[in-house]
Amino acid sequence: MRANQERTFTESGRRAQIVAAAIETIAELGYQQASFAKIAKKAGLSSTGMISYHFAGKADLVRAVTEEIVATATTYMQERIVAADGRPARLRAYIESNIEMVAAHPTPLRALLDIMAGARDASGELQVDATVLTARTDRIEAELRDGQRAGEFGAFDPAVMAIAITGAIDALVARLTLATETGSSPARCATELADLFLRATGAEHGSTA
Amino acid sequence: MRANQERTFTESGRRAQIVAAAIETIAELGYQQASFAKIAKKAGLSSTGMISYHFAGKADLVRAVTEEIVATATTYMQERIVAADGRPARLRAYIESNIEMVAAHPTPLRALLDIMAGARDASGELQVDATVLTARTDRIEAELRDGQRAGEFGAFDPAVMAIAITGAIDALVARLTLATETGSSPARCATELADLFLRATGAEHGSTA
Amino acid sequence: MRANQERTFTESGRRAQIVAAAIETIAELGYQQASFAKIAKKAGLSSTGMISYHFAGKADLVRAVTEEIVATATTYMQERIVAADGRPARLRAYIESNIEMVAAHPTPLRALLDIMAGARDASGELQVDATVLTARTDRIEAELRDGQRAGEFGAFDPAVMAIAITGAIDALVARLTLATETGSSPARCATELADLFLRATGAEHGSTA
Amino acid sequence: MRANQERTFTESGRRAQIVAAAIETIAELGYQQASFAKIAKKAGLSSTGMISYHFAGKADLVRAVTEEIVATATTYMQERIVAADGRPARLRAYIESNIEMVAAHPTPLRALLDIMAGARDASGELQVDATVLTARTDRIEAELRDGQRAGEFGAFDPAVMAIAITGAIDALVARLTLATETGSSPARCATELADLFLRATGAEHGSTA
DNA sequence: AATGAATGAGGATTCATTCAT
DNA sequence: TATGAATGAATCCTCATTCAT
C-alpha cells in the first residue's frame, strides 16, 4: 500500500524493528543470504509480506539499513573527530575511531562492509548508490588537499591516499570482526594504522615542525 | 559422473571453458548473481547439467576459478617481483605489479575481488578457504619482518602493515576496474601507492642510506 | 513462510487439499513417482511452491499423509474392534476390518502400503518413523501375549505371530487393491484370513471350550 | 549397440559385475535411490554409459537383477525342499529355508524385497513382470490344493493361504534384515512361522494321523 | 496497519540416455 | 567393446513480490 511512499523521518516502530533484524541477518549471513524470509524470522514476524509492506523492495530496505548504520557510525566518529586539533590529529581520530567501532558496534559495521562489498541486484548493478561509496573518500580527499595547502601534509596524490586509507581501514575491520584470532587488540591496531598513515602523509614533519 | 573425482592437472578443455565463462560472469554480475544458468549461457552450453558434470558443485567451481586467477596473477607479478633488487624494491614491485594487472587482466582481477569479498554459501560461511585469504598477507608480513631485522624498514607492526597494503591495493583496484572515471592512469596510481607505503614503512632511509 | 512451523490441529484447508492430492497421487503412481509437480497438478495448484509453503519438505508432507491415513484407518477399524467380545473376536475384528477397508477406502490404503514399503530419502533411510511401523505389531503382540496369559490363545511366539498377521494382511490388501482379478470378494478373503489366524493362534479351543 | 539384443546365457563378466553392484546398491539404498550413477560407482565403473550399453534400460537391469536373485534363492531353497518328505514337510521346508536365507544371503534378499515392493517406472506401472510376483503364490497355492485333495491339509482357501504365507515370510524377512534388534534368531523365527502355518493349514492332524 | 496465502520464476543438482570416438 | 562427454528434462526448494482480507 504505502511502502515508503512518504518517508517518515522517525521510523515507525515496525520499520526500525525490521531494519534492526536486517542488520543482524546481513552481519551474520551476508547480504545475499539475507532473504526476506530470514529477516522476518529474526524480527519475529510471521510473514515476509510485512517487509514488502514497509519497504518498496530489497533495494529500499538495504538503503534504509545503510543509512541507519552510516548515521550511527557518523555520530560515533564525529564526536571524536571534532575534538581533535589540527588536520593530522583529525586524520588520526578518523582512522582510530573508525576501527574502534569494531568493539563498540561490531554487528552494524560488519553488515555495512558486506553491503558495500557485495550488494548487487539481479542485473549485477550495485545496490547502493555509488555516491555513498565515493562520498567517504571524497571527504577525506578534500581534507587531505586542504591540509597539503596548509602545509600540514607532504606531497602525495590525495585521491589515491584517500582510497588507501579507507581500503586499509576496511580490511583491518574485516579481519577484526571476522576472526577470534586475537593477534592484537583493536585499539592497538587502530593506533598502528593511524601512525602508518601519518607517516605516509608526511604529517610528522608538518606537525612537529 | 566424474565431477572432479580425479583432478586432472591439465584442465579438460571443457573445464577450462567453463572456468573462463565463470570468471567473465562473476566479473560482470558478481559472485551471487553468477548462476549456473548464466555461466552455461556464456559458455555456450545448452544446459547447466554440463557444469554439474564437470564440477562437484558451485563451491568446487569457484575454487577452480580462484586457483586459476591466483595462478595467473602470481605468474604475472612474480616476474616483476623477482627482478627487483632489495626488499623495498620488491615491495614496490609487488604493489605496482598488482595494480597494473588492472590493465593487463581486468576481468579476472575483478572476479577475484568479488569472490574474496562476497563468496558465501547458503549458511553464510565463506566459500573460499580462509587460508587463501590469509596466505597473501602472511607472506607480505614475513617479508616486512625480515626487512625490519635487516634494517631495510623502520619500526611498525608488520601484521597491520600487511593488511593495510593489501586492503589499499584491493580498494584501488576496485575503483580502477569499476569505473570509467579516468582520474589517473593505473600506472600513476600504482606508483603513488607504492611511494605511499615505502614512506609508511620507512624504507626511504634504509634505501638511501 | 510458515511451512508447518506451528502445526495447527485443524488442517488449513489448503493443507488438507494438498494431503488429499498427495494420497491420490501416491496411490496411483507410488511414493517415488509422486513428485511435487504431479501432486500440485492433481490438487489444481499452479505451482509446486505452494506445497513447499505449506510443508517443510517432502518428508513433512509424507508424514502428514501418513498421519491422516492412520487416523482414518484407526477410526474405521476401532469401531468394529471395540464391538467385539473377547480377545479372539477382537483379533478377528482387527483382521477383517483391516481388509474390508479395501472396499471402503481403497486409495488411502494403497497409498499407505506404498509409503510403508518404499518411502526412503536420498540417503536410503526410511522416511517414516520406524516407531510408526513397529507400533502396529507391538500392539498386536501385546494383545496376543495377554490372551495367552488368559488362556484364550495357545502357545506360540507372539512377536512372530504379530508380524505374520500384519504381513499377511498387507499382502492380501496389496493383491486386492492392485488387481481387478476378482477371484474372491474382499469380505470372503477377510473371513478366510481371520479363520486362518484363529486356527494358528489356537483360539478355537479356547473359544469353543 | 547391443544392449541385450541377444541375451547371452552366460553373463558377460561385465554384466555380472553390474548386476552384483546393482544388488548391493538396491539393498543399501532402495530401488528408487539406486541410480545408474551410484551403481556404476559401486561397480568401479567410470561412467554410466557402460550400464546403458549392457542393459536396454533400468527395467532391463532390474529384470536381470531379479532373475539373478530368484535363481540364487531357488537353488538355495530347492535343495532343502526336495529333501522333505510329504507336503506338510515341504511347506515347512519352504518357509524355513526362505527365512534362513536371511542369514545366508541377506543382501540379495533385501534387494529383492525392495524391488517387489517398490519398483515402478515413471508412469507408476510395476517394473517387474506381474507374473513373477504371482508365480510364487501360484506354485504354493497349487501345492496346497493338491495337499488338500490328498487329505494332507484341512479346509481353507488355498489362494488366501498362499498370499498369507508369502506375506508373512516377507514381513519377517524385512524385520530380520532391517534391524539389529536381535529379539530372536532367524532360525527360531523360521521354525515358529512354519509351526504357525502348519497349524493354520491343519497339517498336524493330517500328518500325525 | 497488518496478515498470510499465493505466485511463478529461478536456484543447484541428479537423472537415464545418447553418441562420437 | 568400451569410454566419457553431452543432453535436457525433472527433482525439491527458495526467492521477492502481490493481493484479498
pLDDT (tens, 9 = 90+) of chain B, 209 residues, equals: 555 544 445 567 889 999 999 999 999 999 989 999 999 999 999 899 999 999 999 999 999 999 999 999 999 999 999 999 999 999 999 999 999 999 999 999 999 999 988 778 888 778 787 787 788 999 999 999 999 999 999 999 999 999 999 999 999 999 998 766 666 789 999 999 999 999 999 986 544 33
D16-32 burial, b if ≥16 CB within 10 A, otherwise e? ebbbbbbbbbbbbbbbb
3-state helix, strand, coil in chain C (%, to 5): 70, 0, 30
Instruction: Determine if strand E comes within 7 Å of the CB of C1.
Output: yes
CB atoms within 10 A of CB B185: 12
Q: Are D157 and C192 within 8 A, CB to CB?
A: yes
For range D21-48, the mean pLDDT = 93
CA distances from B98 to A1, A160, B101, B107 (A): 50, 15, 5, 14
Give distance CA A7 / C1' F20 (Å).
26
Give distance CA C69 / C1' E12 (Å).
34
Which nucleotide's C1' atom has the smallest distance to the CA of A15? E1
Return the residue of C nearest to A36 by Cα: C1
Q: For position D203, what pLDDT does the model report?
A: 86
Is the pLDDT at D194 greater than 60? The verdict is yes
CA B15 to CA B4: how far, in whole Å?
A: 10
Instruction: Determine if strand E comes within 7 Å of the CB of A175.
Output: no
- Residue appearing with cell numbers 572515471: B181
For chain A, give the mean pLDDT. 88
- Show the CA angle centred on residue C187, arms to residues C184 and C189, nearest 5°: 50
Nearest Cα to B64, choosing from B99, B26, B95?
A: B26
Is the pLDDT at D71 greater than 80? The verdict is yes
Q: Which chains touch B (3 or more CB pairs under 8 A)?
A: A, D
Q: Are B171 and A164 within 8 A, CB to CB?
A: yes
Phi, psi of D93 (to 5 degrees): -60, -40
Hey, what amino acid is at D169?
Answer: I
Is the pLDDT at C205 greater than 70? The verdict is no
Chain E nucleotides covered by protein, CB below 7 Å: 1-19
* Cell numbers that stand for D172 in this block: 519377517
CB atoms within 10 A of CB A183: 12
Is the pLDDT at A191 greater than 70? The verdict is yes
- Cβ atoms D183, C151 nearer than 8 A: no
For chain C, give the mean pLDDT. 88
Is the pLDDT at D195 greater than 90? The verdict is yes
Q: Which residues contact C77 (CB under 8 A, 6 or more apart)?
A: C93, C94, C97, C98, C101
Hey, what amino acid is at B142?
Answer: A
Which nucleotide's C1' atom has the smallest distance to the CA of C1? E4
To the nearest 10°, report the CA torsion of C23, C26, C28, C32: 170
CA A10 to CA D201: how far, in whole Å?
A: 86
Q: For position C8, what pLDDT does the model report?
A: 47
Percent of chain A with pLDDT over 90: 70
The DSSP 8-state label assigned to residue D130 in this structure reads H
Global pTM reads 0.87
Q: How many CA within 13 A on the CB side of residue C143?
A: 21
Task: Say which of D30, D160, D171 has its CB closest to residue C167.
Answer: D171
- Altogether, the residues listed in chain C come to a count of 209
A102-144, pLDDT tens digit by residue? 989 999 999 999 998 878 887 877 777 778 778 899 999 999 9
CA D100 to chain centre: 12
Nearest Cα to C173, choosing from C87, C93, C89, C114?
A: C114
Interface D:A, ≥3 CB–CB pairs < 8 Å: no
| Residues of chain C contacting residue A40, judged by C-beta atoms under 8 Å apart | 1
A7-20 burial, b if ≥16 CB within 10 A, otherwise e? eeeebeeebebbbb
Chain B residues in contact with chain A using a Cβ-Cβ cutoff of 8 Å: 28-33, 114, 117-118, 120, 122-124, 156-157, 159-161, 163-172, 175, 183-184, 188-189, 192-193, 195-197, 199-200, 202
A37-94, pLDDT tens digit by residue? 999 999 999 899 999 999 999 999 999 999 999 999 999 999 999 999 999 999 999 9
CA C129 to CA D201: how far, in whole Å?
A: 35
| Residues of chain B contacting residue D37, judged by C-beta atoms under 8 Å apart | 1
Nearest CA-CA distance, residue C90 and chain A, Å:
48
Chain F nucleotides covered by protein, CB below 7 Å: 1-19
- Cβ atoms D192, C157 nearer than 8 A: yes
| Residues facing residue B126 across a β-bridge | B120
- Residue appearing with cell numbers 520406524: C130
CA B60 to CA B3: how far, in whole Å?
A: 9
- Altogether, the residues listed in chain A come to a count of 209
3 state SS for chain A: CCCCCCCCCCCCHHHHHHHHHHHHHHHHHCCCCCCHHHHHHHHCCCCCHHHHHHCCCHHHHHHHHHHHHHHHHHHHHHHHHHCCCCHHHHHHHHHHHHHHHHHHCHHHHHHHHHHHHHCECCCCCECCCHHHHHHHHHHHHHHHHHHHHCCCCCCCCHHHHHHHHHHHHHHHHHHHHHCCCCCCCHHHHHHHHHHHHHHHCCHHHHHHC
Return the residue of D nearest to B1 by Cα: D47
- Cβ atoms C106, C177 nearer than 8 A: yes
Kindly report which amino acid residue has its CA closest to the C1' atom of nucleotide F17: A52
Q: Which residues contact B191 (CB under 8 A, 6 or more apart)?
A: B96
* Cell numbers that stand for A12 in this block: 515507525
Preferred mutation among A36, A38, A46 to probe C, highest tally of C CBs within 10 A: A46
- Residue B47 CB-density burial (10 A; 0-12 exposed, 13-18 middle, 19+ buried): exposed
Q: For position B170, what pLDDT does the model report?
A: 95
| Residues facing residue D120 across a β-bridge | D126
* Cell numbers that stand for B93 in this block: 614491485
Hey, what amino acid is at D149?
Answer: R
CA C45 to CA B16: how far, in whole Å?
A: 43
- Altogether, the residues listed in chain D come to a count of 209
CA B118 to CA B115: how far, in whole Å?
A: 5
Give distance CA B35 / C1' F7 (Å).
19
Kindly report which amino acid residue has its CA closest to the C1' atom of nucleotide E4: A47
* Cell numbers that stand for C208 in this block: 469353543
The distance in angstroms from the start CA to the end CA of chain A is 63
Q: For position B204, what pLDDT does the model report?
A: 64
Phi, psi of D120 (to 5 degrees): -135, 150
